[in-house]
Chains A and B, each alone.
Chain A
Amino acid sequence: MSQDTPKVELRGVKKRFGSKVVLDGVDLKIARGESLVVIGGSGTGKSVMIKSVLGILRPEAGQIFVDGEEVTKLRGSARDEYLKKFSMLFQGAALFDSLTIWENVAFGLIQGRGMNRKKARDIAIDKLAKVGLGSDVANLSPAELSGGMQKRVGLARAIASDPDIIFFDEPTTGLDPIMADVINDLIVSTVKDLGVTTLSITHDMASARKISDRIAMLYKGKIIWEGPTAKIDNSGNDFVDQFIHGRATGPIKMEVRA
């Protein structure tokens, strides 16, 4: 496979729920090792886009390629195999509350890959250290941690299985500005360490600027602008300008119904 093959590519992906069109032909390419951030308001279909790539939701039309291979129609064990390339940090961290912290981090290793528990625990402790958490939290349950710490555990879980591609769904939402910046730094450092490809969705511009190589904006189910992070302030696009400056007036109209 050539170096030019995009790591992830979406071609004309469409998804609707009932009569509501959420994705209306999304075209997007993410290069190997690149960090792409998709920005857009609430309810513009950012999460739906990520869940379509993961196969949690099935798009009605369009194709999704990973490493040049079409993955939209994968089923069963082929899909399980494909999913091993990915991991994801969820908006609410989505830690399993019936398991301890280290079992959460080691989950993909134990359940997905059949690693023995002792070895998986050592790796989990190591990954927790990478996100700045000591081994003293390993035996706590997720409910005993603050939101910021849960996000860190979520990040440790996402990097535990050494994935090729990591998705970040609103990594800084609900955190105070300092903790948000800590998470941003962790994302940048862990991702650079691993050399992975990342796709993040956010509406936090400070986070977007910090963690991205490139930014794309999703509006009404389509990518309306994309370009290098440095150009975001001179995009020449009124929609992007309104969004990054957070102005109430402009071409983007707030929809009451999400």
Chain B
Amino acid sequence: MNIFAPVGRAVLAFFSMVGRLAVFTGTTLAHCVRPPLYWQLLLKQMFRIGWLSLPVVGLTAFFTGGVLALQIYIGSYRYGAEAFVPQVVALGICRELGPVIAGLMFAGRVAAAIAAEIGTMRVTEQIDALSTLATNPFKYLVVPRVLAAIIAMPLLVAVADAVGVFGGYTVATQSLGFNGYVYLNNSVNFLTHQDVFSGLIKAAFFGLIVSLMGCYHGFHSRGGAQGVGAATTDAVTSSMIMILAANYVLTSVLFET
């Protein structure tokens, strides 16, 4: 038995996947900047992708902010440093947990929905039908979703930041005995523009990752219901992994201080 053959096959499959993904990304970005742009579809996707994600993202941000306040209180109490809870919560939410938690929820919700919808269109030949009706599937399906995600994600994260800080505030004032005015004042005065904007830049990248993965896996799904199911799973898992990997890279690039 030859052990090199399966290893070689896996390596080749990996590189052909990377290549296909690179071509797909390039084609998408090229179509993003070339007219025509379907405005109505973009607005519809911003509603579906962005607005309808608000409850999920808001709820997770609220609980994350709350639990963060509790944990930091427990830790800092040992050093008598519990007065720093508002600052650390605000920093943690804006720089890290806001974008990442929102990104992961976004991946679960949006990458899955996009992959399932486009995947079903692929296996029922609706994407081929688009081509025969003189409509470019990239422009009609991919570009509105990708642009909508890139625009919606920073807005969602801005909301998640605010809700997350509010979650910490609620826990701190209700069960940890903080003064509400002092808590908010400390949070707001401590944060710099850099803290907030670097999180929003991350968010835009996460939006790109999630929508691209959803579209890519949907576009390349085959084989009926099972294929669409596999595409949906792949879209969610790959976008989550890529979000966490990109988060590290972006953090090391953006936070050079």
Contact = CB atoms under 8 A, between A and B. Distances in A.
Contact of A83 (B121, B124, B126, B134): B134
B131 A94 contact: no
A157 B125 CA distance: 15
A90 B140 contact: no
A51 B131 CA distance: 10
Of B126, B133, B135, B140, which is in contact with the most chain A CB atoms at under 10 Å from its CB?
Answer: B133
Interface residues of A, number: 25
Interface residues of B, number: 13
Contacts of B133: 87, 107-108, 111-112, 157, 161
B132 A80 contact: no
Contacts of B129: 88, 90, 94-96
Contact of B134 (A55, A80, A95): A80
Nearest to A114: B36
Nearest to A82: B134
A97 to B, nearest CB: 8
A27 B122 CA distance: 29
A91 interface: yes
Interface string B139-152: 01000000000000
A80 B128 contact: no
B179 interface: no
B185 interface: no
B135 A107 contact: yes
A112 B132 CA distance: 10
Interface string A141-163: 00000000000000001000100
A97 B129 CA distance: 12
Contacts of B71: none
A92 B127 CA distance: 13
Contacts of B124: 92, 94
Interface of A: 51, 54-56, 80, 83-84, 86-88, 90-92, 94-97, 107-108, 111-113, 157, 161, 167
Interface of B: 121, 124-126, 128-129, 131-136, 140
7 contacts: A56-B128, A96-B121, A111-B134, A111-B135, A112-B133, A161-B134, A167-B132
